[in-house]
Amino acid sequence: MLRIPCPWCGVRDETEFRYRGDASVARPGEHADAAAFAEFVYSRRNPSDWHREWWLHVGGCRRLIAVERHATTHAIRAVAPP
């Protein structure tokens, strides 16, 4: 069980949250080419160490937060509002 410290609600169980994926991908500008959009939609760095990711606190404040979690140990080292 992950214990995620929500900046608004305090430490809560992972079951209150919904995972929303990699927070390091950035949408390219509107004039970017198809390759840049394909990269944005499909490519993932998928590291085995620190991963910045979105979690939506559906069972709490219903806000989106950015969490830095270790993808192998599952340790959480930083949480921030988006």
> Does residue 2 belong to the site contacting Zn ion (CB under 5 A)?
no
> Beta partners for 66?
54, 80
Instruction: Yes or no: say if 71 and 47 are a contact pair by the CB < 8 Å rule.
Output: yes
> Does residue 6 belong to the site contacting Zn ion (CB under 5 A)?
yes
Q: Minimum Å distance from CB 44 to another protein?
A: 5
Q: Interface residues with another protein (CB under 8 A)? A: 1-2, 13-15, 19, 21-22, 34-35, 38-39, 41-48, 51, 53, 69, 71-74
Tokens of 65: 């937060």
**How deeply is 16 buried, as exposed, middle or buried, from its count of CB atoms within 10 A (0-12, 13-18, 19+)?**
middle
Q: Which residues are near Zn ion by CB under 5 A?
A: 6, 8-9, 57, 60-61
